[in-house]
């Protein structure tokens, strides 16, 4: 039996929603599990990419991905099998990597979700949605990536002490679009988290609480002016922006364009997410971003992406 799962990239935090907000984006990894009835060797893991536009940004990263039992996909599969009291059979695992790695786009969450969903299908669907989310988050540790990768759309989520995931999926306005700015260097999540303070002031905490409330209300009302205020943050971006060359320059330049709602760090970075209204010119945003990276001497891919509303699907 063979199962293939297509899983979207994700962007987390989105300004004020640190470790809470997440959106699924229209870039995809594919995970295929195939049971080997007559294996000539043990576990087989194959890794490749078919997205020519971003191949240059992930080719070198692919070379570092393990192809043995330490593979993150195999570990996700093993976790699901252990959940039902079994061990994985001999498997062939194909990983089509199109989501840039260590760029703040949920690459690890996507393959974890893909591996777990594929394993669940091979086993006859013993785990329900709640269990699958919990198991995936046990391995990933970031429900703000796991949840949109699994369910699609915009979500806010929370991992509870009992391991369960509380979440809500909210409609995202169709007129609000995204541009990704993906630099050609990596920024590992542990490094990005290491610059965050252990304690914050009451003033900063209250600031973000206000922005989260504004964010949810701006979605409900499709209020662009309110969203411009809501996208500000004092918990993580002020610290992580120091690791992203040209961030302040880019953010300031894009604020001057009409109908740009805001620019935020995607996940742990270094990718940036620009949110804009439909009638704004993508080429104008792209020109500003290209000028910015040329000034700081960093090559980057600028890509228009859509929200993915379906999440992980078996194909």
Q: Helix 72-83 to helix 107-122 angle, to the nearest 10 degrees?
A: 40
Task: Determine contact, residues 100/57, Cβ cutoff 8 Å.
Answer: yes
76 and 224 in a single domain? The answer is no
135 and 200 in a single domain? The answer is no
- How many CB atoms neighbour CB 64 within 10 A? 8
For the stretch 117-175, pLDDT in tens is: 999 999 999 999 999 999 999 998 889 999 999 999 999 999 999 999 999 999 999 99
183 and 147 in a single domain? The answer is no
Instruction: Give me the domain span that covers residue 185.
Output: 176-305
pLDDT over threshold 60, residue 185 = yes
pLDDT over threshold 90, residue 195 = yes
198 and 242 in a single domain? The answer is yes
Could you give the percent of the chain with pLDDT greater than 70? Answer: 94
30 and 102 in a single domain? The answer is yes
- How many CB atoms neighbour CB 46 within 10 A? 11
For the stretch 57-87, pLDDT in tens is: 555 566 667 778 889 999 999 999 999 999 9
67 and 150 in a single domain? The answer is yes
Average pLDDT, the chain: 92
9 and 134 in a single domain? The answer is yes
279 and 296 in a single domain? The answer is yes
Query: Which CATH number covers residue 182?
Result: 3.30.70.890
User: What pLDDT score was predicted for residue 51?
Assistant: 65
Write down the pTM of the prediction: 0.93
* 230 contacts: CB under 8 Å, gap ≥ 6: 15, 16, 211, 212, 214, 215, 218
For the stretch 234-293, pLDDT in tens is: 999 999 999 998 898 899 989 889 889 999 999 999 999 999 998 767 889 999 998 888
56 and 151 in a single domain? The answer is yes
Q: How many domains does the chain have?
A: 2
pLDDT over threshold 90, residue 37 = no
């Amino acid at each position: 039996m063979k199962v293939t799962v297509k899983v979207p990239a994700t962007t987390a935090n989105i300004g004020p929603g640190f470790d809470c907000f997440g959106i699924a984006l229209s870039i995809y990894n594919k995970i295929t599990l195939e049971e080997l009835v007559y294996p000539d060797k043990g576990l087989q893991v194959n890794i490749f990419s078919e997205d020519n536009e971003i191949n240059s940004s992930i080719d070198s990263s692919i070379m570092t991905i393990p192809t043995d039992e330490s593979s993150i996909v195999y570990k996700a599969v093993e976790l699901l099998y252990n959940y039902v009291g079994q061990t994985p059979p001999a498997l062939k695992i194909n990983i089509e990597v199109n989501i840039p790695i260590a760029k703040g786009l949920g690459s690890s969450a996507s393959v974890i979700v893909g591996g777990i969903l594929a394993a669940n299908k091979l086993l006859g669907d013993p785990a329900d949605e709640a269990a699958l989310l919990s198991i995936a988050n046990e391995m990933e540790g970031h429900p703000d990536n796991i949840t949109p990768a699994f369910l699609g759309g915009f979500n806010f989520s929370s991992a509870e002490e009992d391991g369960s995931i509380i979440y809500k999926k909210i409609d995202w306005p169709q007129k609000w679009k995204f541009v990704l700015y993906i630099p050609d260097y990596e920024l590992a999540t542990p490094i990005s988290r290491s610059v965050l303070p252990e304690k914050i002031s009451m003033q900063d905490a209250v600031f973000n609480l206000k922005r989260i409330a504004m964010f949810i209300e701006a979605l409900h009302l499709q209020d662009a002016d309110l969203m411009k205020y809501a996208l500000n943050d004092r918990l993580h971006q002020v610290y992580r922006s120091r690791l992203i060359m040209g961030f302040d320059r880019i953010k300031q330049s894009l604020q001057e364009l009409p109908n740009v709602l805001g620019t935020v760090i995607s996940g742990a970075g270094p990718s940036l997410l620009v949110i804009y209204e439909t009638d704004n010119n993508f080429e104008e945003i792209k020109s500003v971003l290209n000028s910015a990276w040329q000034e700081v001497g960093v090559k980057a891919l600028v890509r228009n992406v859509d929200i993915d509303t379906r999440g992980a699907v078996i194909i």
